[in-house]
Amino acid sequence: MAEIRAVFWDIGGVLASNGWDREQRRAVLQQFGVPADEFEERHELVFGTFERGHMTLDEYLDRTVFSRSQNFSHEQFKAAMFAQSKPNPEALAVAREVSASKKYICATLNNESRELNLYRIEQFGLKEIFTVFVSSCYVGMRKPDEAMFRLGLDLLQVPAAEACMIDDRALNLESAKQLGIHIIEFKSADRLREQLREVGVEVRPAMSAVNGD
Ligand SMILES: [Mg+2]
């Protein structure tokens, strides 16, 4: 097996909670008393454009939440959106360890809108871990587009056989696998350590493995 030189990481559902997925939307809509049905219909129409970086967060909110007058502000709603983002410290520790070894180039390969992506990069200290951010909002593509994985490989200048992709969604991993990228379906930080070791990435074993549980 070719040695792994590049590790691509999803962010939402791996290194942190999802940014603006169904559960985050439900919580924030409830908080502001916005009817979900109407919102979701509008969200469906624009979220692809939004996540590909062709629409600002304010424009997105104008099209979804503020298509009618509301008794709260864009800023209040945005603060609630951002507050939904929570880190996964154990998974972040694995990413930090892989990156600190200097044996691998680490990049994100994630679907996120620009403002939320930036918030999460800063909030979770991702610039200290990752060299490149292949984020949908910067590259104008979304997973599972095969083209996005190809771009990731081109940017890092590694062949597919020397790369692995970590994602919590099996559907996103299908096209990466088609290209010959090693795939890791994220379940937990402990399991991730095992999965990385299985593809030859040097990382400490999970504590449960050390303790023999
Ligand atoms: Mg994800």
What is the overall mean pLDDT for the chain?
A: 96
Give yes or no: residues 129 and 69 share one domain: no
Task: Report the separation in Å between the CA atom of 51 and the middle of ligand 1, taken as the mean of its atom positions.
Answer: 13
Residue with tokens 């600002």: 56
Residue with tokens 């070791």: 197
Task: Report the separation in Å between the CA atom of 93 and the middle of ligand 1, taken as the mean of its atom positions.
Answer: 17
pLDDT in tens, 74-84: 999 999 999 99
Task: Report the separation in Å between the CA atom of 187 and the middle of ligand 1, taken as the mean of its atom positions.
Answer: 11
Task: Report the separation in Å between the CA atom of 95 and the middle of ligand 1, taken as the mean of its atom positions.
Answer: 15
Give me the mean pLDDT over the 169-198 stretch.
98
Task: Report the separation in Å between the CA atom of 168 and the middle of ligand 1, taken as the mean of its atom positions.
Answer: 5
Given a cut of 80, whether residue 209 has pLDDT beyond it is no
Order the strands of the 182-185 sheet from edge to edge.
132-135, 105-110, 6-9, 163-167, 182-185
Given a cut of 70, whether residue 155 has pLDDT beyond it is yes
CATH number at residue 157: 3.40.50.1000
Task: Report the separation in Å between the CA atom of 16 and the middle of ligand 1, taken as the mean of its atom positions.
Answer: 9
1 belongs to a structural domain:
no
Q: Among 132, 131, 117, which Cα is nearest to 51's?
A: 117
Q: Which of 83, 115, 134 is the last residue of a domain?
A: 83
Quote the pLDDT of residue 212: 57
Given a cut of 80, whether residue 1 has pLDDT beyond it is no
Give dist(CA 142, CA 51) in Å, integer: 7
Task: Report the separation in Å between the CA atom of 10 and the middle of ligand 1, taken as the mean of its atom positions.
Answer: 6
Q: In sequence order, which residues have a C-beta less than 8 Å from that of residue 103 and are 6 or more positions away? A: 5, 202
Q: Which residues surround ligand 1, an ion (CB under 5 A)?
A: 10, 12-13, 168
Peptide bond into 144 cis (omega under 30): yes
**Rg of the chain (C-alpha set):** 18
Give dist(CA 24, CA 18) in Å, integer: 8
Q: Which of 42, 59, 83 is the last residue of a domain?
A: 83
Given a cut of 70, whether residue 63 has pLDDT beyond it is yes
CATH number at residue 45: 1.10.150.240
* Boundaries of domain holding 36: 22-83
Quote the pLDDT of residue 208: 74
Quote the pLDDT of residue 210: 67
Give dist(CA 6, CA 159) in Å, integer: 9
